[in-house]
Amino acid sequence: MVQLIARTSTDLPPDVRTAMGLALKTEEPATRAGQALTIIAQNIDQAASCEGPICQDTGMPTFEVKVPVGVNQIWMKQQIKNAVAEATKRGKLRPNSVDSITGENSGNNLGPGTPIVHFEQWERDDIEVKLILKGGGCENTNAQYSLPTELDHLGRADRTLDGVRKCILHAVWKAQGKGCAPGAVGVCIGGDRTSGYLHAKEQLFRTLDDTNPDPRLAAIEDAVMDAANLLTVGPMGFGGQTSLIGCKIGALNRLPASFFVSVAYDCWAFRRLGVTLDASSGAIRAWLYREGDAPSVPMLTPEQLAAGFPRTGREIHLRAPITDEQIRSLKVGDVVLVSGRMYTGRDAVHAHLMKHDPPVDLRGGVLYHCGPVVAKQNTPGAPKPSGEGGWTVTAAGPTTSIREEPYQAEILKRYGVRVVIGKGGMGAKTLAGLKESGGVYLNAVGGAAQFYARCIDRVAGVSLMEFGTPEAMWHLDVTDFPAIVTMDAHGNSLHRDIEEASGVKLEAARV
């Protein structure tokens, strides 16, 4: 189980690699979409080679287990829990399980409801375990529709397969870059509200290149793929040709009074693997979704990997502390390379800063929406040596910024933060705050946790550790951290523009 978890977290399966390779070929390299996909491809290869997490959000571990009659499921569930705790200790999983009332992190990914383990009996004599690691950013973009309903840009969705098609397209459009597009959707038609979501997630255990055995559903899957990739949401919501890499639909019976369409959105960091086990010894008999134990085929050539971030020569260098003048000279679309000190802050830090002064001087500073994976010891193959206190950051991509929308403008104003880095963009309140206080929002590439960990020279310190490692405020010294200005100090927002433009394109999918 430890092997399964570690490999799932660090090495994408071949079908996802193929889909992402196709996306890479589709986008022009010098565009925002092309640059984002190159970073993603580098990140995938870096994660596999150093056995580090592909994304810092290692997600909710969900196990689907099939066992022969007579297997002791209580004992087996305990083994899975032990493996989750061990993989967390080894830095393959970020401590992600928090008490929903107190916010306290259990530190080992164990707690009520974590991990999720579903058992089913079958007639075979071996055991099958499938695992998916699905992060919070994409989980938050899941959607459930009760038909008939009215949808933005698409009009009425009836209780028909065409209504289902419209709902799925609407969910992809609503997700924009927040779920780290290009993503894949698992969909359930019918069921009740709970079984619908569960069955939708189960569709994500299908490979991206399979064909639905039900021709009616296969046709809808194809139609959604075609239409979604015309929306030009693009990688990370930057605009582009690739918005969706997979659509998998299942159906459950429903009550006559209900007609739910449940959509489970997964990001490009689509971490899904499985094994079959010898039921007596627990040894791995075979890997699922991949050819044996052979190393994965890299996304890039060694030369492309060594070349790093694809520069055009137009990049703008920023070093903290940053002045008002520098900020106001930036505009949407500029690619910047940030160096110097940045501070991480996500949900707990933002809530804290609304009531308390910051533990460090944030004037002219850079606030990074990130919950990194940090280890106390050097992880074999980790990119950088330990920093202050023996800490090493092993994964450090951006988290979804919109969660901080209620706080961000106030924090910019009160503490003089100049640069906010995250992913998926923020809303009208923050946009106004950036204009008023002189700040910019930079969109980093979501999920590129290995790539960004390599931009960190050292951990210079940490504050607010009482919130747990993902939520603490880490003081990071970085060099040439690349990101794109997607909201500037002049009231411009690439996110707003892409959402509006893709909304117009969505209207073409009405019929």
Name the site residues for ligand SF4 (rule: CB under 6 A): 55, 57, 59, 135-138, 179-180, 267, 269, 397, 446-447
131 forms beta bridges with: 63, 273
Compute φ and ψ for 400, nearest 5 degrees: -70, 120
How far apart CA 357 and CA 363 sit, in angstroms, is 12
CB of 287 to ligand SF4, least distance (A): 22
Compute φ and ψ for 302, nearest 5 degrees: -55, -35
Whichever of 217 and 267 has its CB closer to ligand SF4, that residue is 267
Q: Is the Cβ–Cβ distance between 368 and 476 less than 8 Å?
A: yes
Whichever of 138 and 157 has its CB closer to ligand SF4, that residue is 138
CB of 44 to ligand SF4, least distance (A): 11
Contacts (Cβ under 8 Å, ≥6 apart) of 222: none
CB of 179 to ligand SF4, least distance (A): 5
CB of 436 to ligand SF4, least distance (A): 29
Whichever of 269 and 489 has its CB closer to ligand SF4, that residue is 269
Cis peptide upstream of residue 182 (ω within 30 degrees of 0):
yes
CB of 201 to ligand SF4, least distance (A): 14
SS (H, E, C) 348-405: HHHHHHCCCCCCCCCCCCEEECCCCEEECCCCCCCCCCCCHHHCEEEECCCCEHHHHH
Whichever of 379 and 399 has its CB closer to ligand SF4, that residue is 399
CB of 94 to ligand SF4, least distance (A): 10
Other C-beta atoms within 10 Å of 329: how many?
12
Whichever of 55 and 249 has its CB closer to ligand SF4, that residue is 55
Whichever of 206 and 346 has its CB closer to ligand SF4, that residue is 346
CB of 425 to ligand SF4, least distance (A): 13
| Three-state secondary-structure class, residue 503 | helix
Burial 481-501 (b: 16+ CB within 10 A, else e): bbbbbbbbbeebbbbbebbee
Q: Is the Cβ–Cβ distance between 123 and 279 less than 8 Å?
A: no
How far apart CA 312 and CA 13 sit, in angstroms, is 31
- CA 130 to chain CA centroid, Å, is 20
Whichever of 5 and 489 has its CB closer to ligand SF4, that residue is 5
Whichever of 142 and 212 has its CB closer to ligand SF4, that residue is 142
Q: Which residue is nearest to ligand SF4 (CB)?
A: 135
CB of 40 to ligand SF4, least distance (A): 9
Tokens, residue 164: 């289902």
